[in-house]
Structure 1
Amino acid sequence: MLIADDQAAVREGLALLLETMSGVTVVGQAADGLEAAALAAELAPDVVLMDLNMPRADGIEATSRVLAQNPEIRVVVLTTYEDDTSIVGALRAGALGYLTKAATRADIERAVKAAAAGQAILDPAVQRQLLAAATATPAAPATSPAPAPESEAATPAADDLSPREADVLRLIAAGHSNREIAKKLFVGEATVKSHINRIFTKTGCRDRAQAVQYAFTHGYADPNA
């Protein structure tokens, strides 16, 4: 586990907190984005807990650098920011989880361990923000005609997902693991994996983080899942 945050007190506090969690070992701490990328390349941690607002390189750039060097590393963002630009920027950079600093110890432990297992975890506030952004219809200027249907933010894509694949995508967006999805849909984990592979192929998503973003921006996300 690598921690990246420009505030020493926050880094050290997180290190102490994480070391109390079973199966979690902190191997390094970085004070800025460039140091985070350098230490990730050197130490190859399973997970990087990444702040966004850091000097030299912010968390979004650092996430891109880390994953360009080693795509097997999982990045979980832990930040005070929950605006659209920060959330989407982090997910597009490849972050697998996104938490705000209002997260509890249990939230952080769940996100870190889920990320290590390749599962996406989003803070509920972040999910609501993405859903609001995806479903918002921009007001047309007074002198302009009404926008064409294809301009609406949450219009479902012509991705040819089957009803069961759509169900799986909704559950991925809600942060459920493969095992949890299998239990909810009364199928085996191997079947869930097959559905996820087909979802990735049909939507062009590379991983679960991109699938979460896709779900929110194409009308599949269900905040009550």
Structure 2
Amino acid sequence: MSESPMRVAVVSPLDVVAVGLAAMLEQHPDQVAVVELSVGFGADDPDVILYDAIGLHDGDGADLEHYVKETSAAVLVVSQDLRPDLASRALARGADGFFSLGVDDEQLLRAVLTATTVDDDGAVLDAGDALAVGHRLGQDVGLTPREIDVLTLITQGLSNQEIAEQSYLSINSVKTYIRSAYRRIGVTSRSQAVVWCLQHGFAPSPGL
């Protein structure tokens, strides 16, 4: 008996993106089934959620965090090449990987089919050169998820106290994460850290 098709949901505020991705996936009914997100999730969670990063442009990302934390689905971010900052923000919030809207039919299928395949370290396996599945901000220098969160908020202009309040950390913990992150990226000041982050794909403050 053959395996059931992988269940995939597409989340985008743009109909052209949602319809376009769904149409590409529906060309492979033996491997992929496009489904709607149910209100309650749980047992009906899809295997993969494709999340359009443009949703972070106008929103606060609460929906993305819900998909990451409250569903069992692998969450892949779909990003326009002209807005890498949005993909960076999505990855910092815990998305499993991302790929460009410029992918072709076969690349999209490969990204979806490998989204739930993990290596021995629990990281999503790379789906190929055209995709960035499995890539995370700061991966090349060994930043931890918490260090990434802190650097993201620093880049967006938050003070240590504001970071502590938003992340539910003590001010001393924030300072510890900042020091360890600075060591990993090779900087000694906040301004240097912001420059490094902007050069490595972190989302800038709206005022920058």
TM-score (norm. length: structure 2): 0.50
More helix by share: 1
